[in-house]
Structure formats: structure tokens, C-alpha cells
Chain A
Amino acid sequence: MRPFEYHEPTSIEAASELLAEHGSDAAALAGGTALLIDMRHGELQPRHVVSLWKIPGLGKFHTNGGLRIGALLTVTELGDALRDPATLGLREAARMLGSWQVQNMATVGGNICKASPGADLVPPLLCLDARLSLRSAGSEREVPVDGFLTGPDQTALRPAELLVSILIPQPPPHTGTAFLKIMRRQALDCSIVSVCARVTLEDDGLTCKEARIGLAAVAPNPIRSLRAEVALAGKRLEDATIREAAQLARSEARPITDVRASADYRSHLVGVLLERAIRKAADRAREGKGN
């Protein structure tokens, strides 16, 4: 790894100023599980590494009409904090990210901002209509996670801007989420495909009021499938409806062939996994039980 200068700013402003000063010569350090590998391979060679860990308040978790997740909350801390059927999909994604060791180090903010095509936490965050709180020395803004990722390893962060927290609005009643991930083995791998489904049911417990579908590793970034969501909204969740939604999601996926899998297999998996995820999310919405 090329030597660098190490900074430990104690405020968001100071961190933002450092990032502004050094521009593309600087990298922000959160969990480091992706950054250190990129640096070791020479893909990133920052002369300045800006640790975020001395900034107070970035690792907090609040529940108060929704969830406010600090960007430096570790993936383990996130998974451990979630038990509601509405957010179980996010817990499942957390527990399938890398290994326990990686989950203890990687952060929610880091997983989002690394912007991998297969970022595990993003499909559930898309399903939960998450919003991102961004700050720099001079400004603050809030954006939806949907649209924040603008290409592989690319985000809509402005120069010197930091992600400070992730906000999940209170899910409506009768909501369930489910996350499924297929890898080349049973654990410890990037996704070949991962999906998350959110189903919000009407009071009758049978009709889908509203749905969200999140897919990862089938496009440059994780995406929603609006066509699938529309196909489910207002409908009774019968087999044919679910299958149609899954196939519509397939049509919106743009998978590639790479070392892990072919585009054909990825496309096939979207259909298979989504049917299962929708059913599971609906069951959770119905039962309203925890894990």
C-alpha cells in the first residue's frame, strides 16, 4: 500500500474541509473493508486518508417515528437493531454481507457510498424509501437513496460532502420485507443476484396496497423495478400476479456476464428469487411477527 497522510478530524466541517482541500487525492475512511483492498491493489492511491471515526454522533441509531441510522453504524449493529417484520429484509441483508468479521467493521454509510453494483444493503433501503442526510462544511441536504447511486463506484455526493445518516420513514402498518441473495457458495461472497421485496397489505390482509422491489447485481447499481411495483399495487397476491411481477422485474434488469455468473443466469434468478421474496414479505406483513 502506498504511504499516505492520515487525518482524524473531529467534526464534519473539518472533515469536509480536508476533502475539499485534497480533492481526488483524498479518501474518506469508514469501515475500510473495501477501501483497504482497493488501496492494496493500487486501484485507489490516495495521498490523504480522512478517518471519520473521531467525529461524534455518526454511529448512532435512533428510533422515533422511523429510523435514523448513523452512517458509521456497523453492519452488525444494524442487523442486531432490527427485529420488526417491516425491516427484516434489511436485517437479512446485513447478516449476509461478507462474514461476521466484515459485518463488524463495514458500515452502513460505507456500503452505500462504495456504490458497488451488488451493494447488499441498498435493495432493502430502496424498498424502505430510505433518505440520505448529506453534509459538507457549508451545506446540508437530504436526498432519496433512489437516484443517489449514479454508476459503479459512483454517487451523487458533491465534492467534500459526507453521508452522515440514513433515514427510514416509519413503514406503514402491515408491512413486511424479505431479502434473498444467491452466491457461488452458501456464505461469504458477493451477490450473483440479490433481491428485496416490500409488501404493504390492506387491512384485509390479502390485497397488496403498495410494493417495492429492489434488485442488486443486475445493473450498474441496485435498482427498483417500478413495473413490478405497479403490477402488485392494489392487487390480490395470487400466484399469477406474483409471477407476472417477477417477470416484469426481469425485464427491467440489465445483468452482465462476469467472473461470477452469466447474464442469462442472473436474469433467470431475478424471476425465481423475486417470487419467493414477494411471498415471504407478504407473509411477514400478514403475521406482523418478529424474526
Chain B
Amino acid sequence: MTQEKVIGQRKPRQDVLAKSTGAFVYGMDFQIPGQLYGAILRSPHPHALIRSVDASRAQALAGVEAVLTAKDLPAGLLMPGVVCDQPLLASDRARYHGEPIAAVAAQSPDLAQQALGLIVVDYQPLPAIIDAETATADESLLVHEAWETYQAEEGLVRWRNVCCHAALNKGDVERGFASADEIIEGTYTTESVHQSHLEPRVATAVVLPGEVPTVYSNTQLLYWIRTNVAHVLGVPEEQVRIVPTGIGGAFGSKLYPQIEPLTALLSRVAGKAVRMVVPLSDELLAGVPRHPTKTRLKTAVMRDGTLVAQQATMYLDGGAYTGSTPEIASVAVLCLAGPYRTPNVHIDVYGVLTNKTNFGAYRGPGGPYSVFALETHLDEVAARIGMDPLDLRLKNILGEGDEAANGQILTSVGLRETVERATQAIGWREAAATNRGKGISLGWWTTTLQRSTSEALLDANGKVVIRVGTNEMGTGAIMGGVRQVAAETMGLDVDDVLIDVEDTLSGLWDWGSQGSRTLANVGRAAQFACQDLRLKILSLAEKLLETERERLDLAGGEVFSIDNPEEKITLKALAQLSPEGILRSRAESNAEPATYDKSRLTSCLYPAFHHPSYHCHVAEVEVDPGTGMTRVLRYVAAHDIGRAINPTLIEGQIEGGVVQGIGMALMEEVLYDKQGFRTNINWTDYKLPTLADMPEIESIIVEHPTNLGPYGSKGLGESPALHPPAAVANAIGAATGKRFRSLPITPEKIALA
């Protein structure tokens, strides 16, 4: 086996130079001369009937060139989704504080705001449904009175305010409880947290007669934006062009078509380009943050630490529309089961509609709150039987070839190694000083699949260009990882490979930069395309060098004869001699999903973790008993990612995810008051971790390769965010002797406990 040249190396990314000089163009920097400025009028009520909307004075304001209300849209227009229940603009009812009611486009941002102020809406406020658990009751008010009429994906179990009931059953929990030595119960709650990407959400639409409808967007999923824009414009998807702009952070938030369809319609009405920026206050008011949750866990354990039965009931507060909640509920099922051998498991996750913003995908959707519940609960289980939390884990975790709770068989299982190395690195067995404690969390996570398409071509200078259909959002997966994979496959250094992110007219269909899938799937497609391109290059070289293809190799930018290396030709010369012009090759990755036992799951849209990654985090904290302030001193994170393509990128994901997770653990919360109004809609009152809040983080890379991503790699982007709330909560428990079952664990909660 040849030694790899660039895989595993800390190679530079293609985009960092431009980012270090201010030259890089983000969505926020992209403007079109003559553009109009779009703005959205949002519901000031959490729940209200809309009796009338009068936009005539806004229409009449000089400089306003488009106004949209529900009556300007096709009647009954609902947006695509697992359940089609969401309008583009609210018509007869506003269902959350901040829901879009109307949109305008005007010649200046100030005029647009003025126009919004002239739209008169007659609301009749209604009581708001704000508690997910009580919203499941038969006597609860309905968020959607017409829920039965909506088109929904087959197999989805839903009723009234429950938009999805995902369930897993393995064995017989009642029998398990009957046979156990100890039964431990607990209820765990978490608040919503917001992605808070530094760059706002921005889209610029150009929908002019006779031209391809075009939207420039800083989205992380071009093709889903295309689907939604095409849907509202009433044109085939292939005729819509979504163009990627630079992205300043996304974390799941920029998967959603929050503004592109509206901006496209405004542009069509106005006959001009329309640019819309979502101001931070609106993004915090009515974005797509993480689901709030309440989870009840009941575990049966033997005195020797064997987990015998586990029952979990989770209420996943989904907000006003179904959105991604069913899929996320399904992921939560798998996270609540955890990578454990427990023979009897019953899990119910209820995705519940309430009068709040649509909660949705934020780095590891379904994950951190499930892991928080399970892993802090397991510490309580360990305490009950007087066992070290680490030993309880080691006794029950799954290994190579074992079956997970959903029946999938696990391979490339690096879990035990992550646990051993992480606990070793932090000195788990060493006694902690006063007011200090260590906490552990471990788990498994998916590498999302679906299709990615890539094209590799050899340009006239002998450089390889890799064209992809999804954008770099900051992780380095595209501009770093995919580039390295392509370089390795083509025998080049990274500087000779150029990554080009294409708009949707390229047809390079891609399920996007999300779900820990990017490097594995886009990299795989690129690798296939490069392998094909390599064959074409060698076939051409065969003719040019008059040597059999099998006796030729490609390295260092040259094709050469293995038997006589002086017989060679540079890629540049070869490219220029190509009779068919530019050599290119297009390939697709659409890997097989993991198989599992269907009989154990109901209404689970994400039923298995594909090529799972495994991870273990350990945090050491110091708690000031007087003020309750927690300082995370040291943090060790071990991740089995199959194969490390670039350690710098891996560490970057781990460190970034850990600090986001510390935010969720200690300080971040999206607050709704008792009437359903959002209260903290700026970064003054939604606290993000600063540099002063950062611990010393040690990243440990574990490699148990799998046959998915290039060179055996598995996904990574999300898993680092799964564990900090649990690890930190467990550490606080060890430091203070008190358990905290709700997030965030603020200094106030600790001081007054």
C-alpha cells in the first residue's frame, strides 16, 4: 500500500488567504447595482386570528415597488415538507411571535421599514400554546385546526398537536423493570439555543421576465432552496438558479428557505433585483433554533452495573409548523438509546406543535438534549449503585459487531478506544481538588448520506478543477478536505487543485453541507470523479507515450512510465494535446444506508446511523460555591472519525463544537415568557461564549476506518456539540455533589441550589 502524500496532513485550505485579507465575499457583502431592499412584517403576537391585512398605504408610499401579503399568493399555497402545513405568509392565523405576515421591497432599507409600519393588520389575540407536554392532551387547543387535511409523508404517526410520534421498542421493558435490582427515574429539561452564526442570513433575488429566475444565497443547501423557490414561482426546479455566495457560519440555520422564496416573489413583482438581510433581532426572534425538550427516563440496573431496561419519553417542542421535527424526533430516539447493550428499551419521542418559532436543525439536531438526558441520568444510575460512572459505561457500551437498539449491526467501532483515551488523558481516576470535578459523556452519531455529485476536470494548465454542488460554510470540508482528497487521488499537491462551488444550473445535485456528511459524501463523489478522470488521463497518455495504461502512473503533476520514469508527460502538456478538449468526468456518491430491524421502529424517518462515529468527552470544572460560576478548566474530546483527512480541520470542529456546547450547558437560552412572547432577541441578552469562557481543549483523534468516506473517513461536524452539556453537568455534579437536570446550568441555579 502506497504511503499517502496529502491525506492526514495539515494542508492549508483554499479560502483562508482571502478570508485573512478581507477580500472574501460573503452573502452580506454581495450587492447588485439598482437592487431594491426587502423587509418582512412579523407577527407581534404568539397566536392570533388575522382578521384583515391592509397594505394599501404601504403600496402607495413613494419608493415602494412591491408589497406581498397572503392574498397576493396562490390560494392555499403551502411550502414543501414532510407535512405541508406551513404557508409562506400567514393568512388567517399567526402562529408564533415573529411569523411573517407581509413583505415589501423598496428603494432603501429605511423606506422598506417605513412601508412595514404602514401595513395595518387587525389581530385578534388567542391564548398561546406554549408547553409541549400539555399540548399533547386531548383537551388542548390546536395549533392547526385543519391538521387532518394536510398532505403528510406516509408512515408518519401524527395527531392533533403531535406532528410526529417516533418510537423504538426492543425486548420488554416491563419484564426488565420487574427483574432489576434498582430503578432510577429522572426528568430532564433543556431550553432552545440559537445557532448565532456571525454572518446574517442574506439573499438577493433577480427574477426578471425572460430570464432564469436567480437567487444568490448564503445557504448551506442550494438544492432545497431551489425546490422552495421553484415551488412559489410555479416553475420547474431545473429552471431556477440558486447561486452560492460566501457563508459566514451556518450550523444548520441556513438550511432553511427563510427568505429566498419571498425575496424571489418580491423581485418578480417589482421587476428588479431585491436584496433581503435578516437583522439579528429577527433572526433571534424567529429563526430556526434548537428544539426545547423535556425527557423522562427510567432505568433498571443490576447491582453489578448491568443495564437491564430503559424507558424514555421525550417531548420535543417543535414550534408552530412541522418542519424538520419528525426527522429530528427520529434522531433523538437513536441518541436516547445510546451506544449501549441494554436488552430492553422503549423510547417514545413526541414532536409537538406549539405557538413558537419553528425549531429545527442546529448542529447535531436530536442530539445534545438527548445525550444530556441520557448521560446525566446514567451518572445518577451509577451513583445509586455506588459505581464509578466510567465503569458503568465500560460495562455496557457496544463494541465491534454488536447490535444497536434499532437492530443495526455496528462495525468500525472505536468507542472503547475513545473512552479509554479520553479518560486517560484527563486523569479520570485522580482525585479532584475541592470544588472541582470531572464528568463524562459518550455517544454515537451518524454520517448522513444522500446524493452528492461532483465533476473533475483537467484545465489547460494541467491543474485539476473539482466542481461541487454544495458550499463551504466554514468547516473546511469543501475547501480543505475535498481538495485534499482530490489532490491525493490525482497525485498532486493541494495548490494544483481548485475547488469550484457551482450554482444549481450545473445540475451537480447535492444534499448539502450538513449532517456531518460533507467531506464523506462530497469527497467520495469527488474521489470517484477523480478516479475516472485519472483513467481518462492515463488512456490519453497511453497513446501519447505509446505505453500500456497499466504501466503508467500519475504523480507530481506528471504521467510517467513505471518501467522507465524518464518517459513522461506533464499534465499541462497532456491537457493541451487532448484531442477531445478538456478532459472531464462527472460522478455521483449515493451510498447505501445502514440496515436495521424495521419491526422495532415506528414513524422513524431517520431510522439508523450510517457509518457511525463514536466519541467520548470528559470535562473538568471548578465551581465557585459562593457565586455559582463554573469555569471549565480542561476538556478532553476523543472522536473516532474513521480516518483523519486533516487534523487541523478535525481539531477545529472539535474545539468549535465544544465551545458551542459549553454555551448550551452554561449560558445560552432562547427565552419565551409565559404568554409565548420571545424576550431576549439580541446578543446583549442571548449570551454566547467569549474567549474568556474557553477551556483548554485537548482533541484526541481515533481512527477505525469504515468503507464510506474517502480513505475510510466518517462524519465529524456535529458530534463535538453533542456532549458538552452532559459532560459539564456531570462534572458540576461531581464538583458540588448536586445534580442539575435542566439547562442551562447558570451560576444562579448553582448558587441557589
Q: Which residues of A contact B (CB under 8 A)?
A: 182, 184-190, 192, 259-262, 264-265, 268-269, 272-273, 276
**Which of B671, B684, B690 meets A186, CB within 8 Å?**
B690
A-B residue pairs in contact (CB < 8 Å), sample of 5: A182-B627, A184-B747, A185-B692, A187-B691, A269-B627
Known: A259-B680, A272-B626. A185 touches B752 (CB 8 A): no
A182 touches B629 (CB 8 A): yes
Cβ 8 A contact of B751, one of A184, A188, A265, A276: A265
* A185:B687 contact, CB within 8 angstroms: yes
Chain A, residue nearest B684 (CB): A190
A186 proximity list for chain B (CB < 8 A):
629, 631, 690, 692-693
How far apart are A242's CB and chain B's nearest CB, in angstroms?
13
> Is B689 on the interface with A (CB-CB < 8 A)?
yes
Q: Does B667 contact A (CB under 8 A)?
A: yes
User: What A residues does B684 contact at CB under 8 A?
Assistant: 190
Instruction: Say whether B685 faces chain A, with CB atoms less than 8 Å apart.
Output: yes
Closest 4 CB pairs of A and B: A186-B692, A187-B692, A272-B626, A265-B748
A189 touches B693 (CB 8 A): no
- Measured in the bound complex, the distance between the Cα atoms of B344 and A160 in whole Å is 77
User: Quick one: closest B residue to A189, CB to CB?
Assistant: B687
B746 within 8 A of A: yes
Distance A128 CA – B247 CA, assembled complex (angstroms): 50
Whether the pair B627, A187 counts as a contact (CB closer than 8 A) is no
Residue in A185, A269, A272, A273 whose CB lies within 8 Å of B667:
A185
- The reply to whether A264 and B752 contact each other, CB–CB distance below 8 Å, is yes
- Chain A residues whose CB sits within 8 angstroms of the CB of B748 once the complex forms: 261-262, 265
Which of B631, B693, B747 is in CB contact (< 8 Å) with A187?
B693
Query: Contact between A268 and B747 (Cβ–Cβ < 8 Å)?
Result: no
Residues from chain B with a CB closer than 8 A to the CB of A273 are 626-627
Q: Are B689 and A265 in contact (CB under 8 A)?
A: no
> Contacts A187-B690, A262-B752, A265-B747 given; 9 further ones with Cβ under 8 A?
A182-B629, A185-B687, A187-B691, A189-B687, A192-B747, A259-B680, A261-B748, A272-B751, A273-B626
A42 to B681: give the CA distance in the assembly, Å. Answer: 16
Given contacts A259-B679, A272-B626, A272-B627, contact A188 B690 (CB under 8 A): yes
Residues of A within 8 A of B693 (CB): 185-187
Q: Which residues of B contact A262 (CB under 8 A)?
A: 748, 752
A185 and B679 within 8 A (CB):
no
Residue of B nearest to A258 (CB): B685
Mark contacts of B656-695 with chain A using CB atoms, 8 A cut-off: 1 yes-contact digit, 0 otherwise: 0000000000110001000000011000110101111100
Q: Within 8 Å CB of A192, what residues of B? A: 747
B746 to chain A, nearest CB (A): 7
Complex formed: what's the CA distance from A69 to B671 in Å? 41
Instruction: Tell me the smallest distance from the CB of B689 to a CB of chain A, in Å.
Output: 7
A16–B687 CA distance with the chains assembled, in angstroms = 39
Other-chain residue from A184, A190, A268, A269 in contact with B746 (beta carbon distance below 8 A): A184
Interchain nearest-CB distance for A252 vs B (Å): 20
Complex formed: what's the CA distance from A188 to B667 in Å?
13
* Nearest-Cβ distance from residue B49 to partner chain A, whole angstroms: 28
Query: How far, in whole Å, are A272 and B628 apart by their CA atoms in the complex?
Result: 10
**Nearest B residue (CB) for A1:** B110
The CA-CA distance from A265 to B752 in the complex, in Å, is 7
Closest chain-A Cβ to B675's Cβ sits at a distance in Å of: 15
Is there an interface contact between A259 and B626, defined as CB atoms closer than 8 Å?
Answer: no
Asked whether A185 and B690 contact (CB < 8 A) given A259-B679, A268-B752, the answer is yes
Q: How many angstroms from the CA of A268 to the CA of B752 in the assembled complex?
A: 8
Chain B stretch 496-527: residues in CB contact (< 8 A) with chain A: none
Q: Please measure, in the bound complex, the distance between the C-alpha atom of A188 and the C-alpha atom of B693, giving whole angstroms.
A: 11
Contacts of A185 in B (CB 8 A): 666-667, 687, 689-690, 692-693
Among B627, B685, B692, B751: residue with most chain A CB under 10 A: B627
Which residues of the partner chain A approach B751 to less than 8 Å between Cβ atoms?
Answer: 265, 268-269, 272
Closest to A262 in B: B748
Chain B 726-753: CB-based contact to A (< 8 A → 1; otherwise 0): 0000000000000000000011100110
Contacts of B689 in A (CB 8 A): 185
Q: Closest residue to A266 on the B side, CB-wise?
A: B748
Q: Which residues of B395-423 have CB atoms within 8 Å of chain A's CB atoms? A: none
Give the complex CA separation of A184 and B690 in angstroms.
11
Contacts of A189 in B (CB 8 A): 687
Question: How far apart are the CA atoms of A182 and B629 in the complex, in Å?
Answer: 8
Across-interface contacts of A261 in B (CB, < 8 A):
748
Please report which residues of chain B, range 620-679, place their CB below 8 angstroms from some CB of chain A when the two chains form the complex.
626-629, 631, 666-667, 671, 679
| Chain A residue at minimal CB-CB distance from B683 | A188
- Chain A residues with Cβ under 8 A from B631's Cβ? 186
B627 contacts across to A, CB distance below 8 A: 182, 269, 272-273
| B628 closest partner in A (C-beta) | A265
Question: Which residues in A have their C-beta under 8 angstroms from that of B629?
Answer: 182, 186
How far is it, in angstroms, between the C-alpha of A273 and the C-alpha of B751 when the chains are bound?
A: 13
CB distance from B26 to the nearest CB of A (A): 21
In the complex the two chains form, what is the Cα distance from A264 to B751 in whole Å?
10
Contact residues in A for B685 (Cβ distance below 8 Å): 259-260
Q: Closest Cβ of chain A: how far from B752's Cβ, in Å?
A: 6
- Name which of B626, B691, B747, B748 has the most chain A CB atoms within 10 A of its CB: B748
